[in-house]
Amino acid sequence: MDLRLDGKTALVTGGSRGIGKAIAKAFVESGAEVMITSRKAESCEETANEIGCLWEAGHVGNPEDAERIVGATVERLGGVDILVNNAGTGPYNGPVIDADLPRWNKTFEVNLTAPLVFSQLCWNQHMKENGGVIINIASVGGFGTHPHIGVYDISKAALIHLTKQLGAELGPQARVNVLCPGLVKTDLSRFLWEGDKGDEVAKMYPLERLGEVEDIAAAACWLAADSGQWITGQAIVLDGGGMVKFSE
């Protein structure tokens, strides 16, 4: 089964660091031409130079930026065969019942509305006619409840459902799937693994380690390539077995 992406073009949001950077790098190594985007132009440029791809800075939650980023991708790469909606945020920590609307709205703007807007743009400008693959990045949090990151979890649950809906709507031209990682060591999740906290979490996973960004990138390649050609509307959990651990 072919895991190569030769001749394919890809756009990865939040591609300057963490999981998005690993996915962009793996796509380049698999033969794709890649565009990355994130807010900070400097980090985009640095990463793009390091991994050998193009970049266009912007805020995924701003529809005008989204239009410019997808437009630049189509113009410079000739299309978008693969879209990875990876950029994510979790600005509010605390009980959902006390959540303030500005941070609630910001969470949904980046984690849910942006994936829809980017999917719409890529569909209308390329995938409707030429086919394509959309990969969303949610979280195992989208399946459960947690004391402090409930707002983030709700946005990821909605992203999982958006994936199912678009999977049903966009076939046979496009496949839409969502990867749901457990704890992966990145800047975003630092507050969950810093100090001894990471070891405590790892002990609860049957595979006894936290995720590496490459674990998520490998799954993204598998879904993006012909190996994933009969998979759509699916949520794929990558969590070292955390979801199936024995109940205490």
Ligand X SMILES: NC(=O)c1ccc[n+]([C@@H]2O[C@H](COP(=O)([O-])OP(=O)(O)OC[C@H]3O[C@@H](n4cnc5c(N)ncnc54)[C@H](OP(=O)(O)O)[C@@H]3O)[C@@H](O)[C@H]2O)c1
189 binds ligand X (CB under 6 A): yes
177 binds ligand X (CB under 6 A): no
What tokens were used for 164? 């199912």
Q: Is the bond preceding residue 206 a cis peptide, omega within 30 degrees?
A: no
186 binds ligand X (CB under 6 A): yes
Query: Is residue 177 within 8 Å of residue 136, measured between CB atoms?
Result: yes
- 118/88 Cα distance (integer angstroms): 13
Query: Tokens 């569909």, residue?
Result: 123
Taking CB under 6 A as the criterion, the residue among 9, 30, 38, 177 binding ligand X is 38
- 152/90 Cα distance (integer angstroms): 5
What tokens were used for 248? 């205490």
Strands (E), 86-234: 132-137, 174-181
205 an active-site residue? no
Three-state DSSP state, 64: helix
Residue of 95, 116, 112, 92 lying closest to 104 (CA atoms): 92
For ligand X, give the closer residue by CB, 4 or 143: 143
Task: Please identify which of the residues 27, 108, 152, 193 carries the catalytic annotation.
Answer: 152
Residue type for 211, please?
Answer: G
Minimum distance from CB of 182 to ligand X (Å)? 7
242 binds ligand X (CB under 6 A): no
Query: Is residue 11 within 8 Å of residue 83, measured between CB atoms?
Result: yes
Segment interacting with ligand X, rule: CB under 6 A, options 4-12, 24-32, 96-104, 182-190: 182-190
For ligand X, give the closer residue by CB, 86 or 129: 86
Minimum distance from CB of 139 to ligand X (Å)? 4
73 binds ligand X (CB under 6 A): no
Taking CB under 6 A as the criterion, the residue among 183, 202, 220, 221 binding ligand X is 183
Print the binding letters for residues 107-146 with ligand X: x by CB under 6 A, - otherwise. Answer: ---x--------------------------x-x-------
Query: Tokens 């995938």, residue?
Result: 127
Q: Which residues bind ligand X (CB under 6 A)?
A: 13-14, 16-20, 38-40, 43, 59-61, 86-89, 110, 137, 139, 181, 183-184, 186-189
Active-site positions? 152
